[in-house]
Amino acid sequence: MPEPIISVALIALAIVIALAAHALFVRLLRRITRNTSFLADDVLFRRSLRPMRWILVAIALTLIRPALDLSPTADAIWKQAAGLIVPLLIGWLAISVIRASTRIVEIRSDITVEDNLKARRRRTRSMILSRIAVIIVGFITICLMLLSIPGVRNIGVTLMASAGLVGLAVGAAAQPALKNLIAGVQMAFTEPIRIEDAVIVAGEWGWIEEIKLTYVVVKVWDERRLIVPVSKFLEEPFQNWTRESAGLLGSVFLYLDPSADVARLRAYFEDMVVKEPLFDGRGKALQVTDVSAQAIEIRMLATAANSPKTFDLRCAIREKMLAFIRDEMPAAFPRTRAELGQAEWKRDAEPIRDPVRPPRSAPQEEGIGGPSGEGG
């Protein structure tokens, strides 16, 4: 048989053997993972399934390379293709493993539970570090692929000599992007924010939905999305309501008449808050925090498990206290006082007639006692 046909047949046979070996390997691993109760091996198996198939094909083609009768041109093309494809496949597998590891951390870190501080911390750190690792692996893969090209490898010394100037130019042009990238790496270890943290940033209240390398997505309470650069969380102050724990202390203010019975209000408040399902029992208080000529300021404090429950608890306290005051203590609502109706005020308020102009009398009949004194 002609040599080209033999070479094509060997290549086809190697590919078939590699695919068959991959199928057997997959069946064996699937049986192993099916008998285990861990989800980690299932995720890793699914993520690495496709890249492993093509890596086995590449290995099979590499093994049969000495048996092929290739021309110098075909041999050069083979080596060049191998230099490009092998690093690409290895990088693909590495990225798949990194993403599988991130998914495993997400599965093991359940943020739907009540006390999810540790889970949110693990998820945030894993997500940021995995994205950094993906960028590094991608960069190394591209460098290995370029180094397999003889022209690029030969001019490497010249490029290294000018790398300093190029680096300065690129750094100056990409300063904002590099600044946010470095801030993202710093955020992975300092953890000023985490996934599902309740924050107030740029005057908006919401939850941290996504943390990218250069920006953060904040889900605002009304379903809007606020895109904030990562550097803003490291350079400007913001409020993090779940930094140490999800529990919060909610406050409600009422402005009542100074004659209001505060002791009665306090007794009803303490009895009502204890029966409220949203109250977590950590603390409660009712105090007069300010007074003015028109009203007194009453502050009520109560704790809840997280920020949404704290908001709902504040609304419930406000509604029930207003209903109690309306039904049981209506006189406690602020009133405007004025003293009117005293006798001396009424006397002083009588209209004063003009002494210069006497009151006008009834008009005289024409021709009788007129100004000229003439009779009719």
211 φ/ψ angles, rounded to the nearest 5 degrees: -125, 105
Residue 137 has pLDDT above 50, yes or no: yes
Q: Which two tokens stand for residue 243?
A: 């930094």
Q: Which residues, 6 or more positions from 291, have their beta carbon under 8 angstroms from its beta carbon? A: 258, 297
Q: Which of 5-14, 44-53, 74-83, 337-346 has the lowest mean pLDDT?
A: 337-346
Q: Which of 13-17, 186-190, 253-257, 283-287 has the lowest mean pLDDT?
A: 186-190
The per-residue pLDDT of the chain, averaged, comes to 77
Largest CA distance in the chain: 162
Q: Is the Cβ–Cβ distance between 217 and 202 less than 8 Å?
A: no
Q: Which two tokens stand for residue 320?
A: 């029930």
- Residue 232 amino acid letter: K
181 φ/ψ angles, rounded to the nearest 5 degrees: -65, -45
Identify the band that residue 375 occupies on the pLDDT scale cut at 50, 70 and 90: very low
Q: Which residues, 6 or more positions from 20, have their beta carbon under 8 angstroms from its beta carbon? A: none
Q: Helices in the chain by DSSP H: which ranges?
A: 3-34, 40-63, 72-108, 117-147, 150-154, 156-161, 163-173, 175-190, 230-235, 262-274, 307-328, 343-348
Q: Which pLDDT score is estimated for 246?
A: 73
Residue from 86, 88, 89, 102 nearest 44 by CA: 102
pLDDT, tens only, 187-198:
777 778 888 888
Q: What is the mean pLDDT of residues 231-245?
A: 82
Q: What DSSP letter does each residue of 220-272 carry, written as one string?
A: ETTS-EEEEEHHHHHHS--EETTSS-S-EEEEEEEEE-TT--HHHHHHHHHHH
Identify the band that residue 358 occupies on the pLDDT scale cut at 50, 70 and 90: low
Q: Please state whether the predicted TM-score (pTM) of the whole model is above 0.75.
A: no
Identify the band that residue 287 occupies on the pLDDT scale cut at 50, 70 and 90: very high
Residue from 3, 5, 2, 17 nearest 58 by CA: 17
CB atoms within 10 A of CB 138: 14
Q: Say how far apart CA 182 and CA 186 lie, in whole Å.
A: 6
State the Rg of the chain over Cα.
Answer: 41
Q: What is the mean pLDDT of residues 36-41?
A: 67
Q: Which of 69-73, 137-141, 153-157, 232-236 has the lowest mean pLDDT?
A: 153-157
Q: Which two tokens stand for residue 342?
A: 């005293």
Residue 168 has pLDDT above 70, yes or no: no
